[in-house]
Structure 1
Amino acid sequence: MAVFRLFWAEEGGLPADDRGLAYGDGLFETIRMVGQKGVLLSRHLDRMARDAKRLGINVSRRELATVCTRAGQRFSEQFTDDGWILKLTLTRGGGGRGYRPDPGMVPNLLVSASPLPPTPDASGVVVDFSRVPLTVNPLLAGIKSLNRLEQVMAAAELGQSIFEVIMSDSDGNLVEGTRTNLLLRKHNGWVTPPAASLAVAGVLRQWLLERLRQRGEAVAEKPITVEDVLGPECQGLFLLNSVLGIVPVRTIAGHDLPVDGGLATIFNPLETLE
């Protein structure tokens, strides 16, 4: 069974030779916790184990689940009943110089806890279009890797009145926010960008698509254009994030959008605790 070196953030950070620090050689998960249970926890663990394998980082889902249990016991009493955030940062490990990893490297896992962010306005939020283009390497599509410089640059556009900015690909299609996936409601059903076009394929996104299809609603995974959002067929635009939940957009780039609170009845974080 694979092993890793475990680091608790409050006891110190990763070693100076860590490849995650040097090259972004790793990935992370951010999990909303309530007490010792996590929202959509199994999906977070599945994604980290699956995407670690895609990167060639040897770690087992069972080991990750054990760490989450230990983290819940360690941190839960430090926070209110509203919950807290558990972050797992997994890197290929430390040692060596240069891009080529040494054979047989032991991964590093950094575990940290923080308070929940403020709850978004249920009546809808204000967003804008980002000036930073998003380029997704097909080999890395969907992986929540440590390579997030495009999102960092786009997030610099956020202000006190702007909740999120929406990033576009080279063709001008709307792909995702700096920390959110997109779901558009049209007259004939729901539309979300295909997973292959995403920098991060969110666990809430996949969970919600499954639920909508189970309810018999039409869901299409295809590109979303600016015209789709600003045109007359738009019945609502939603931002998806497993920590923040399902967030309706009230205004985008100065244009008012219809706000529909129906999705709030589908996703209740407390009903997805594991």
Structure 2
Amino acid sequence: MFNLYWADESGFPAGDRGAVYGDGLFETIRMHGNRGVLLSRHLDRMVRDAGRLGIPVALRDLSKAYSAAVSRYVSRYTGKAGDDWILKLTLTRGEGGRGYQPGAGIRPNLIVSASPMPTLPTPAGVAVDFSRVPLTVNPLLTGIKSLNRLEQVMAAREIDGELFEVIMADNDGNLVEGTRTNLLLKVPNGWVTPPTKSLAVAGILRQWLLEWLRAKGELVIERAMGIGDVMAPDCQGLYLLNSVLGIVPVRQLAGQDLPADDGVATIFNPLELLE
């Protein structure tokens, strides 16, 4: 079991290892009224990845905390902006230990917060650029939505003006993901996306969409993706994936126009994926 804290109350311990060392992980869930989009995938991922970090948490306890959060926050957003809002669950190892080494028997902390739904990007597509900040993915942490997001924070500082996102590459120049999005490229014979093992965050929408495309008989290839792939003449579209924002077409990349089919974005209908 964990200690439960509400972000809109005081009393969170200053020595929490999540705050001090980034020792934890989080989930951001798009809500509609009292139901969450792809909810079970979010909760399952938190339990699974917490296990990878050695933070004990049971799905039944996490589900109870989720239900309590819905009861606490839903009335603040019902009837406003289409009833859409955001629920965030942050799980840390807790408080204790000397320096980096955790103490024995630490009890995890779960911090729960809610916020309004952000403005969705235009269906016509967004402007994106390449980040100057390299993204290094530790193989032990691949795909985990951990609290260690400093590289993304530094890259996000480059987003200004009309830019919606910047795309980060690894030290070999392979495009990996945006600061808050996964990548999907449309090519003549199917779809290309960076392999899961290369990702800092393996997104919930990415997982769902790849399964959906394959179930429809579409060819989906997971391989390294370079600048030449997205700038190639046969590129049929580049899409940013985020479980809150949806499937976002890129209409311009580093000043170059890309084909942007807003019809692809309709594949993801959050109202059909509520749990």
Structure-2 residue corresponding to 1:138:
139
User: Quick one: which amino acid aligns to residue 210 of structure 2?
Assistant: L
CA contact (8 A) 1:13 1:110 kept: no
User: Quick one: which amino acid aligns to residue 45 of structure 2?
Assistant: R
Distance of 2:134 and 2:196 partners within structure 1? 17
User: Quick one: which amino acid aligns to residue 35 of structure 2?
Assistant: K
Distance of 1:162 and 1:56 partners within structure 2? 38
> Where do 1:36-51 residues align within 5 Å?
36-51=34-49
Distance of 1:103 and 1:271 partners within structure 2? 44
> Where do 1:105-144 residues align within 5 Å?
105-144=106-145
List per-residue Cα deviations over 1:7-50 (Å, max 9, x = no partner). 00111263011000111000000000111110100000010000
List per-residue Cα deviations over 1:183-217 (Å, max 9, x = no partner). 00000110000111000000000000000000000
> Where do 1:1-274 residues align within 5 Å?
3-12=1-10, 14-79=12-77, 80=80, 81-274=82-275
How far did residue 261 of structure 1 move? 2.3
CA contact (8 A) 2:184 2:193 kept: yes
List per-residue Cα deviations over 1:51-89 (Å, max 9, x = no partner). 000000000111111111111111011112331110001
User: Quick one: which amino acid aligns to residue 226 of structure 2?
Assistant: T
How far did residue 262 of structure 1 move? 3.0
Distance of 1:13 and 1:253 partners within structure 2? 45
CA contact (8 A) 1:204 1:240 kept: yes
CA contact (8 A) 2:97 2:104 kept: no
Distance of 2:188 and 2:22 partners within structure 1? 42
User: Quick one: which amino acid aligns to residue 12 of structure 1?
Assistant: S
User: Quick one: which amino acid aligns to residue 36 of structure 1?
Assistant: N
Distance of 1:58 and 1:32 partners within structure 2? 25
SS in 2 for 1:179: coil
Change (3 A) 1:13 1:164: farther
User: Quick one: which amino acid aligns to residue 241 of structure 2?
Assistant: L
Where do 5+ consecutive residues of structure 2 fail to align? none
SS in 2 for 1:167: strand
User: Quick one: which amino acid aligns to residue 235 of structure 2?
Assistant: C
Q: Percent identity?
A: 69
Distance of 2:212 and 2:58 partners within structure 1? 28
User: Quick one: which amino acid aligns to residue 59 of structure 1?
Assistant: V
User: Quick one: which amino acid aligns to residue 201 of structure 1?
Assistant: A
CA contact (8 A) 1:158 1:164 kept: yes
SS in 1 for 2:114: strand
How far did residue 260 of structure 1 move? 1.3
SS in 1 for 2:51: helix
How far did residue 94 of structure 1 move? 0.4
218-227 or 4-13, larger mean C-alpha shift? 4-13
User: Quick one: which amino acid aligns to residue 6 of structure 2?
Assistant: W
Paired positions, count: 272
After TM superposition, the score normalised by the length of structure 2 is: 0.97
CA contact (8 A) 2:144 2:201 kept: yes
- Structure 1 runs of 4+ with >4 Å offset: none
CA contact (8 A) 1:26 1:90 kept: yes
